[in-house]
Amino acid sequence: MKYLIIGGVAGGATVAARLRRMDEKAEIILFERGEYVSYANCGLPYYIGDTIKNRNKLFVQTVKGFTDRFRIDIRTGQEVTRILPESKQVEIKILSTEETYTETYDKLVLSPGAEPLRPRIEGIESKKIFTLRNVPDTDTIKNYVNAENPRTAVVVGGGFIGLEMAENLHELGIHVTVVEMADQVMAPLDYSMAAIVHQQLVSKHVGLMLEDGVSRFEETSGGVTVHLKRGKQIPADMVLLSIGVRPETRLAKEAGLTIGTLGGIAVNDYMQTSNPDIYALGDAVEVRHLVTGRPALIPLAGPANKQGRIVADNIVFGNKETYDGTMGTSIAKVFDLTVATAGANAKLLKREGIAYQSSYTHGASHAGYYPGAVPLSIKLLFAPENGRLLGAQVVGFGGVDKRIEMLAQVIQRKGTVYELTELEHAYAPPYSAAKDPVNMAGFVAENLLTGKAKAIQWREIENLSPDTVCIDVRTRDEYNLGTIPGFINLPVDELREHLAELPKDKPIVVTCAVGLRGYLAYRILTQNGFTNVRNLSGGYKTWSVATAKIKNEPIDASCPSGNISNKTSGPNTPCESAPVTTTIKVDTCGLTCSGPII
């Protein structure tokens, strides 16, 4: 049998290696138009930022190593320009010589990946505007940074790659501004969780311009001026475009293969295209979303690798292995934060008309009394009729990876939030608590589903009826540090002594720091005859983060610290002076809320 594979990296290289392991006698040819057949494209930003210092560490396998081990005919620098399904042939161009030739196949695998979007914007062809997709792109950016020593950069697009690049450029001492057309960064997150990321970016002196886009680029002698649609202009020494990708489908379209509704190559459960002798996988194909059941484009390396194994097995043994779908489990480092998501977010569920409830919990990465516990926030989305877990988002400073994986496993097997309450985890104080944050998130969701509690979401607070009684049940010291406008202070420990002063014929909303004391207050009130009570999900923490105003100012590169200035920018604009502070070390082990100490 003769197998041809178009494209290497995660998907194509996996197919090639698996094919050889399953069929020692087959003729296998892999075409890669680039120079490298298998490299760690997810590691590219970290090489640019000097976290990965050795460039060779990026290469999972070299052409020689791949050929020596698997005896696969790898042809780099060669591009398949045309597929002829009727004759089962492909046309290939050798890029260095422009020569062309043809190869026949018994089975063909498409793994062309996706290409970065470069919209038709005036000035976008400037050599100081970059995209990051492959090793040559990485080398170009790295060489520019090393040679030109840029002081300022604009990253257009606040997705995972955009923020990873913002961090890595920042680590090189470059003043970075992120421009994002949406009202938040990281689209897979819901706004309230993305707001935590906004805080992190601003605290690291990264400029953040939300709800604004680029109207044009203007190359100058000193760099590039980014003209925004709302009128602002940002001068920069370099620009990185990270506004998304689109599947590479030209070959498939010209070969007459079916293209899906979202623009990716349509495949069946066996990863087979509309032509039975052609399979496709990776970023170029549409998959079934595990939660919605609808077609989705989810360009992630993990699914591509798994699809590659399935494709190879189906080619060799016949269509027996199926790919059930993808739920988009993903994770990223954003400075000190780790951000992770799995399943569907609220925007997707609304778009697909799927009913859901949501809950927020804020805990710690491990037992609070053990040193080093750091904040961990979890949002769950679940079906109100049966509690099926539809999506999960975790943002925090430690332990995020293992929590999202616990949650993703429940989503993948179509489990419920009730299962979260029973998940058995490895417990020791340095790693978790006896009741893990995932267990706690399950308890909160279970209480909502079973009627033990009723929640109100942060967006609803501003639309409360005038007769609503709003109670902040934190301590007086916490209350004095900041509260939601219109909330009165009645600490939960004193609530029972003041029940007679509260009206039973009016709606009551309670809040605390993160929702726990609010739940206790809710239970006290409802068991004492108050029938219209709701607890603010996620408490004051969720509300304050989600409603915090973003300055929407570019970074002030004239300041050594990169502080974002409120003043009008200009050559004589004074820097914001950093306050002089004295550091006092306080041991707060065991405290859920730091308010009393403050």
> Which sequence positions are flagged as catalytic?
42
Q: For the chain, give me the number of helices (H) and strands (E)? A: 15, 33
**Nearest of 490, 380, 497 to residue 444 by alpha carbon:** 380
Max distance between CA atoms of the chain, in angstroms, equals 90
Buried b (16+ CB within 10 A) or exposed e, 180-218: bebebbbbbbbbbbbbbbbebbbebbbbbbbebbbeebe
**Nearest of 496, 472, 510 to residue 595 by alpha carbon:** 472
Q: Which residue has the tokens 């929407």?
A: 552
Strand partners, 361: 378
> The tokens of 558 are what?
């004239």
Please give the Cα distance from 575 to 367 (Å, whole number): 41
**Nearest of 214, 204, 114 to residue 156 by alpha carbon:** 214
Please give the Cα distance from 19 to 12 (Å, whole number): 11
316 membership: H or E segment, kind and range:
helix 301-317
38-39 and 59-61 beta bridge pairing = antiparallel
Please give the Cα distance from 155 to 134 (Å, whole number): 17
Please give the Cα distance from 457 to 509 (Å, whole number): 11
**Nearest of 75, 70, 88, 89 to residue 23 by alpha carbon:** 70
Strand partners, 375: 364
212 alpha carbon, distance to own chain's centre: 20
> The tokens of 457 are what?
């979401």
Strand partners, 471: 488, 510
Alpha-carbon dihedral angle through residues 270, 276, 278, 281, given to the nearest 10 degrees: -20
Angle between helices 160-171 and 191-203 (to 10 degrees): 10
* 3-class DSSP assignment, residue 215: strand
For residue 303, the tally of other CB atoms under 10 A from its CB is 23
Strand partners, 107: 3
What are the angstrom distances between the C-alpha of 77 and each of 60, 84, 107, 252, 558?
A: 18, 21, 22, 20, 45
Please give the Cα distance from 396 to 401 (Å, whole number): 10
Instruction: Kindly state the DSSP code that residue 236 receives in the 8-state scheme.
Output: E
Q: What is the CA radius of gyration of the chain?
A: 27
**Nearest of 36, 217, 248 to residue 126 by alpha carbon:** 217
What are the angstrom distances between the C-alpha of 557 and each of 62, 150, 224, 235?
A: 41, 11, 15, 10
Please return the burial class of 558, using the count of CB atoms within 10 Å of its CB with bins 0-12, 13-18 and 19+: middle
